[in-house]
Structure 1
Amino acid sequence: MKKIILLNTLIAISVSLAFGQQNPVEVKYANTITPQDLKKHLTILASDEYGGRETGQKGAEMASDYIANYFKGLGLQAPVNGSYFQNIPLVEKSLDTTIFMVNGKSYGFGTDFLVSGSSNPDKIQIKTNEIVFAGYGIQSANYNDLKDVSIKGKPVIVMYGEPVGKNGLNLITQSNNASEYTANPRKRIDDIKAMEPSVIFIVLEGMRAKFGNNHLKEKKIEFAKIEKNNGTRIPVVYISNELADVILGVSHTSLDNFKAKVAKSTQPQSKAIKLNLDLNIQLVAKPINARNVLGFLPGSDLKDEVLVITAHYDHIGVGTGDVFNGADDDGSGTTAVMELAEAFMQAKNEGKGPRRSILFMTVVGEEKGLLGSEWYSEHPVFPLEKTITDLNIDMIGRIDPEHAADSNYVYIIGSDKLSTDLHNVNEQANKTYTKLNLDYKYNDPNDPNRFYYRSDHYNFAKHNIPIIFYFNGVHADYHKPSDEVSKIVFPLQAKRAQLVFYTAWELANSAKRPVVNVKNNFPSNR
């Protein structure tokens, strides 16, 4: 028995040592990912000529052509019925009519109210003499704003936040902890929609200071979905705290008074308010061109299983005369995907191709709400059940302030949320090859930035596909015209991309795919 135990121990040690030794083949192809090549591609894609690559605009189409031609030149297959493009039916919506009147007085779009989100119908028309203020819109065992009021068929106003008593304890959890209404912001709206009000007004405190009237000419891009009962979808309209106080003032109260009464009584203070409300919001829509770019590398004996590597090539376009070139966000991820494709194709051409197939995909519409990746996840070119992992690269070319003293890092998000196998593969790849400091700060489910929900990997994770999100953190140039090529640290970008390569190599060639062995504790709504 002792001999058997010793033998098993020696085998385990030898396997660990073998996995921890650098493979010269992997190193050879990883080293084809160079700062020079990354800079060459990024200098083109993040130039003013591409106009900020906004979804639906000429610059995004130019970028998709550039990436597709590159994939074609590498010899990647065109997997969408012989095309490198997956077309996405999107529309651009702009405001045509905006009227919001309370007791005959008009209030302004952008300063007092906003519409947002693709769940809204294109036409919202409501005339009524009653509106219901339902506090925080909470429905729980310990605290229920809706228990004594009826909102079916009526406009309802709710606030963000959660009720707190005079002792500082949360009235929902009866503790210092927040409830699921904070963990999942969609729950409040979804629960209220289930009660079928005519419209939901959500108080957005600080709206005037934050937005002013900048949204007067805002255009929205969303799916061109043809839905049954389109006109009966329950709209959501955001209103300023000042407008909410006007409405509450009709019944001689205010938001502050409401909070104080809840704290003192520990009971909801919902009420119906008699007033004349006239709401008329109408949008006009036009179709736009949008497309994901897909390049496919078939595997060998495990070719039916697919590893997906993603980045979004779109950015936010032009504003106030400035071009938002998005060199880091996400030109850095897009060019990394291109270089990864080249590395794997060179290996394939030299007889070292992957066992599993690899889909290299740059998606559009991320800045508009992860639209490109959502469309792919709902209309996959390859079956999701055969998709083993998504490695998503979104901003890997810069250094955030927290790492100014030591830039040898990358943030890792989501690697352990569904599969400890995947997490371990990435850890081992880094330990063996790149030796970056893997920072898991943003992997915390309680992180207020909620980055797990804010890039394209999320649309794979919600289908129970393991993911890793590679990220350099935010910086002063995030979503500003100053996010330029000149600020990219190309050697660091190359090193981070090489970590993705080493992780992808192991995933594409290992005997087993990562096992989904962790319950997805993240809510299904962002």
Structure 2
Amino acid sequence: MRNIVSACALVVLSACSQHPTNLNDITDVTFDEARFRQDIKILSSDEFEGRAPTTKGEALTLAYLSEAFAAMGLEKPNGKDYLQAVPMVTYTPSAQQQIQLGEMPLTYRQDVVMTSRHDIATIDISNAPLVFVGYGINAPEYQWNDYQDLDMTGKIAVILVNDPGFALPNSGKFNGKAMTYYGRWSYKFEEASRQGALGAIIIHDTKPASYPWSVVENSWTGAQQDLASSSQSHKRVQVEGWITYDIANKLFNNAGLSLATIADRAAASPIHLPLNQNASIAFTNQAEYSNSYNIVATLPGQARADEQILFTAHWDHIGIDPTKEGDQIYNGALDNASGTAGILEIARQFANQASQGNRLERSLTFIATTGEEQGLLGSRYYADSPLYPLDKTVAVFNLDSTNVYGRTSDYTIIGKGKSELEEYLIDALKRQNRTAVAENRPEAGGFFRSDHFSFAKKGIPAVFAGGGNEPIDEATAQYKVKMQQKMKGCYHNVCDEYRPDWDLSGALEDLDIFYQAAATLGNNNDWPGYYKGTEFNLLRPAKDDSNN
């Protein structure tokens, strides 16, 4: 393992710097739990209406975060405000949808969710052939192509969720049980588009998807956002959606096939076969264009201000569903008012240190992104249109859904083993006598599901971490069980609300880990890279691959 902190930095960082800074001055900080709680509570309040992009909830969120960054004295990258406009298009499909697969008329939301990311007022597809394309993957590096010699023109792809490694974890296929990007729904729709398909339908299955049908129903109905450039820059399938496993099973039975048997074949080798049934899909669709906004605030470095360390957290959530009875607001307290509050608290600590003369060598930039829930839109836009050059961006620390279950003896790094940046977190853990572990459900594909991934695809080392599996003591373990029961089923649901009985002590420790890691990296000359064998190694390779 490479020694990521130089000997002089272990004693006094100023020994490596032109500007004297005592290590203890920077690292001895105390996070304010009351202030952290208040930020979560306000951002996830009913007044903010679930923080959907381009709504009243966004306007309130932008004002709140801008005021907070201004109070810290952080700089405005564009000189006039903290906003980076993200041109978006909002597609709103009608809830009155006529969808028939083969001989089966389907019920919207109960059996199927369907949307279109095209500026077409009326979707009217009649008798489009259904083709099963296995996992819908074209991956030359894995010698895998489910579309080999297949013309998808005018056809609708029916696709399994996740990738073959989940079904056959000991086969050596893909990355075993740990999901690759090829297992993500976003990739599957993109690949179907590249193959010229008219539409794409993913078969939902709770275990390989890692979430129940209710998450699909809540997330994929109503208004759907995309980057305005996406619909203009490349061809997309005309319709994309999901069906339940039960409906898929009936569809295959009607074709004289066993879904379970065919799925086994699909995991063993690439496959595509006609289902000898057609789809008819009709609904109206409205497209509206408007800007949403990332919020970007910078604390300039004192010696190498052009070198940036980024902190990201998405401010958005799902908004309001007026069709629901009772509570209609998806408050998004854990996901992700908590992460947004986290970068505010980290920014305050660094700003306070800077006001006392302890400014880092490198710059820190805090980005509260929009549209993460719609496909990492804000972070994708920033990565494509950065306010600071990507080749001068050292690293990204991403906070998404912080720990509300109390202190832990371990610390989870999602996708552990990808980059040298992780070593900064691991080194900081020593102060708390904690150990770094990988996530316990790598099949969920967590590394590809939050904003850091937009930067990883550009080769910038990016980490998504926090929380752990092992409570610090028995009392915390008992509390965790009770709180998990209270929050069961609240992911992307209306019950994700702020709870005054949350134990945030573990979250505060995690904030300190991010802070310490950034403080060290911000005062040295290191440029972390990705280890050999990872997806991003060729973009920014690690200097030492011996730990991989």
TM-score (norm 1): 0.77
- For 1:180-199, what per-residue CA distance to the aligned partner results, in whole angstroms no more than 9, with x for missing partners? 79632256666655543333
Instruction: Give the aligned partner of residue 411 of structure 1.
Output: 412
Partner of 1:295: 297
For the pair 1:255 / 2:253, whether they are aligned, the reply is no
Name the CA distance, whole Å, in 1 between partners of 2:128 and 2:304. Answer: 65
Q: Could you tell me how far 1:38 is from its partner in structure 2?
A: 1.9
How many angstroms apart in 1 are the aligned matches of 2:363 and 2:62? 22
Instruction: State the Cα distance separating 1:17 from its structure 2 match.
Output: 6.0
Change (3 A) 1:227 1:16: closer
Go from structure 1 to structure 2 and tell me whether the alpha carbon gap of 1:314 and 1:488 turns closer, same or farther (over 3 Å shift). farther
- Decide which of 442, 449, 456 is 1:461's aligned counterpart: 456
Query: Aligned equivalents of 1:266 and 1:487: distance in 2?
Result: 50
**How far has the Cα of 1:71 moved from its partner?**
1.1
Name the counterpart of 2:18.
none
Cross-structure match for 2:307: 305
SS of 1:60 mapped into structure 2: helix
Q: Is the 8 A contact 1:311 1:337 kept in 2?
A: yes
Rate the CA distance shift 1:178–1:324 in 2: closer, same or farther, 3 A. Answer: same
Q: Distance in 1 between the 2:270 and 2:40 partners?
A: 57
Spell out, residue by residue over 1:84-133, the C-alpha distance to the aligned partner (whole angstroms, 9 max, x if none). 11122223322236333467874333334322585897754333475445
Q: Counterparts of 1:418-437 in structure 2 under 5 Å?
A: 418-419=419-420, 422-431=421-430, 433=431, 435-437=432-434
Could you tell me how far apart the structure 2 residues matched to 1:440 and 1:458 are? 19
Task: Say which is worse superposed, 354-363 or 316-325, in terms of deviation.
Answer: 316-325
| Structure 2 runs not aligned, ≥5 long | 14-21, 470-483, 538-548
CA distance in 2, matches of 1:13, 1:132: 57
Inter-CA distance 86–134: structure 2 relative to 1 (3 Å threshold): closer
Distance 1:334 1:138, change over 3 A: closer
What is the CA-CA distance between 1:45 and the residue it aligns to? 2.5
Structure 1 residues 246 and 462: CA distance shift in structure 2, 3 A = same
Change over 3 Å in CA distance of 1:233–1:301 after alignment to 2: same
Report SS of the residue matched to 1:410. strand
1:331 aligns with 2:329: no
**1:355 deviation in Å?**
1.0
C-alpha distance after superposition, 1:349-379 (max 9, x if no partner): 2222111111122222222222221221111
Q: CA offset at residue 261 of structure 1?
A: 10
Q: 2 CA distance for matches of 1:437 and 1:120?
A: 51
Residues 112, 244 of structure 2: 8 Å contact kept: yes
SS in 2 for 1:225: helix
SS class of match (1:293) = strand
Q: Distance in 1 between the 2:134 and 2:33 partners?
A: 54
Once the two structures are superposed, the pairs formed by residues 179-258 of structure 1 within 5 Å of their partners are 179=174, 183=180, 184-185=182-183, 193-204=193-204, 210=213, 218-225=222-229, 227-228=231-232, 233=237, 235-241=239-245, 243-244=247-248, 253-256=256-259
Q: Is the 1:121–1:235 contact (alpha carbons within 8 Å) kept by the matching residues of 2?
A: no
Alpha-carbon distance change, 279 to 513 in structure 1, aligned in 2, over 3 angstroms: same
Alpha carbons of structure 1 residues 224 and 161: separation in structure 2 relative to 1, 3 Å: closer
Identity of matched residues, %:
23
Distance 1:364 1:439, change over 3 A: same
Deviation at 1:163, TM superposition (A): 8.5
Q: Which residue of 2 aligns with 1:8?
A: none
Shift in CA distance, 66/115, structure 1 to aligned 2, threshold 3 Å: same
Max radius of gyration: which structure? Answer: 1
1:156-191 superposed Cα distances (whole Å, 9 cap, x missing partner): 444457889xxxx96xx9x73444796322566666
Establish whether residue 376 from structure 1 lines up as the match of residue 375 from structure 2.
Answer: no
Counterpart residue identity of residue 358, structure 2: K
Instruction: Please give the secondary structure, in 2, of the residue aligned with 1:425.
Output: helix
Question: Is the CA contact 1:155–1:198 (under 8 Å) kept in the aligned structure 2?
Answer: yes
The corresponding residue for 1:361 is 367
Give how far 1:500 is off. Answer: 1.6
Task: State the shift of 1:79 in Å.
Answer: 0.7
CA distance in 2, matches of 1:49, 1:330: 16
For residues 426 and 216 of structure 1, the distance between their equivalents in structure 2, rounded to whole angstroms, comes to 35
Which residue, out of 390, 415, 435, partners 2:396?
390
Q: Which of 445, 450, 453 is residue 445 of structure 2 equivalent to?
A: 450
Shifted more, 388-397 versus 182-191: the winner is 182-191
Q: CA deviation at 1:383?
A: 0.6
Query: Residues 201-221 of structure 1, C-alpha deviation per residue, up to 9 Å, x if partnerless?
Result: 4444589x9359878962212
Contact 1:244–1:255, Cα closer than 8 Å, also in 2: no
SS of the residue corresponding to residue 527 of structure 2 reads: coil
The residue aligned with 1:3 is none
Query: Partners of 2:102 and 2:507 in 1: how far apart?
Result: 58
Partner of 1:18: 11
Q: 1:408 to 1:327 in 2, by over 3 A?
A: farther
CA contact (8 A) 1:418 1:520 kept: no
Contact between 2:40 and 2:498, CA under 8 Å: does it hold in 1? no
- AA of the residue aligned to 2:316: D
The 1-side partners of 2:56 and 2:269 are apart by: 56
CA contact (8 A) 2:369 2:378 kept: yes
Change (3 A) 1:228 1:287: closer
Q: Who is 1:499 aligned against?
A: 513
The equivalent residue for 2:53 is: 55
Say whether the 8 Å CA contact 2:298–2:365 is kept in structure 1: yes
Q: Distance in 1 between matches of 2:397 and 2:144?
A: 42
**Contact 1:89/1:223, CA 8 A, preserved across alignment:** yes
State whether residues 262 and 269 of structure 1, in contact with CA within 8 Å, keep that contact through their aligned partners in structure 2.
Answer: no
Corresponding residue number in structure 1 for 2:106: 107
Q: Write the distance in 2 (CA, Å) between the matches of 1:161 and 1:188.
A: 9
Cα distance in 2 for residues equivalent to 1:451 and 1:178: 19
Aligned residues: 488
Query: Partners of 1:178 and 1:300 in 2: how far apart?
Result: 48
